[in-house]
Structure 1
Amino acid sequence: MAKGNVENYVGSALWDFNLPRAAPTCWVPPPHGFHKINVDGASSELENSSSISVVIRDSFGKVVVALSKPLQVCFTAELSEIMALEHGVLLAQELQLSRIIIESDSQNAIQAVQDKATGSSYGHIVQSILQACESFETCIFKHLSRNFNSVAHELAHSARRTRSQHLWIGVTPPCVVSV
């Protein structure tokens, strides 16, 4: 795969696509050699707050790093989701990961990156994401059901409610152990 390409699949050499597969019923770890990054954004106009979360796990499903962060301003849900994608990519870049799969339950945010929607109102953020992706050997963006993004979802809502930022390195955040 070409360096920096945004792909819609996880390398055909890793999977036999002819085998029938049952639909997953929970979050699925990434293939060996990959890290999976789940992100979420949360916004509440009623509470005038927004937040994001990032969870990076290895192929064994172990948390490498998790972040929950309130944002300074109340943004739309869509903008919060795009900002969460950007934080996830930048954190993976900082950790010098080489092969990543980024998942979000926001179809619009994933589609904006896949379509390279740099002409949109948040195009500068999409451009930042695309530029950061050039530093990875493989960078894949996938939409997933909110049911499979529950850890990131809970962390984003916790940051919005508590208005406090947390970073966990190598441990599962206590507030999502049961999730």
Structure 2
Amino acid sequence: MDSCVEAALDSVLHLPNAQQQPLFSAWLPPSVGLCKINVDGALFTSRKQASIGVVIRDGEGRLLATLCKKIKAPLTALEVEAKAYEAGIHELEAGIGVVNFSHVRRTGNKPAHILARQAQNLVNDVIWIEEIPCCIQQSLIQDVFGL
């Protein structure tokens, strides 16, 4: 397994409890010069499928890339989240120097959540580069302006 994916899986397995460290509930931009990858997974147990959503933005909140992907396999919640991390990392693989992982509540991760849910209706994976999918346009604006 890729070392970045192992680190992501380890971070998900060892999330701090809420008393030790507060979880973010709003989208926060990364430090200047860095990118932020938000991911989410969705399970559709009756269909024995999962899907993932990935949103990559710069420090000013500008969208760099997004991904919707259906996974035709019965995965656990932890496995689908690890697959979402893996997909996000591979989207930026060439430019990654330092990777930090943190958990954020769904309220701070709405665009990735919407994309993960949207992927269940796809036949093929969809990647948008510097283009905003209409299904997440409103949630991106709300994130950046803290609405």
TM interval, shorter chain, is: 0.7 to 0.9
The residue number in structure 1 matching 2:86 is 86
Distance 1:170 1:52, change over 3 A: same
- What is the distance in 2 between the residues matched to 1:25 and 1:80? 21
Residue pair 1:53, 1:156 contacting (<8 A) in 2 also? yes
Give the TM-score normalised by the residue count of structure 1. 0.61
Considering fraction of residues, name the structure with more helix: 2
Corresponding residue to 2:120 among 141, 157, 160: 160
- What is the distance in 2 between the residues matched to 1:24 and 1:82? 19
Distance 1:58 1:78, change over 3 A: same
Gaps of 5+ in 1: 7-22, 99-135
Partner-residue secondary structure (3-state), 1:141: coil
Identity of aligned residues (%): 34
RMSD (CA atoms): 2.0
The residue number in structure 1 matching 2:109 is 149
Number of equivalences: 119
Residue pair 1:41, 1:52 contacting (<8 A) in 2 also? yes
1:97 aligns with 2:77: no
Gaps of 5+ in 2: 8-22, 140-147
Counting only pairs closer than 5 Å after superposition, residues 1-179 of structure 1 correspond to structure 2 as: 26-93=26-93, 96-98=94-96, 136=97, 138-179=98-139
Residue pair 2:24, 2:103 contacting (<8 A) in 1 also? no
Residue pair 1:39, 1:55 contacting (<8 A) in 2 also? yes
Residue pair 2:48, 2:72 contacting (<8 A) in 1 also? no
- What is the distance in 2 between the residues matched to 1:78 and 1:149? 17
- Give the deviation of 1:24 after TM superposition: 6.6
Residue pair 1:43, 1:160 contacting (<8 A) in 2 also? no
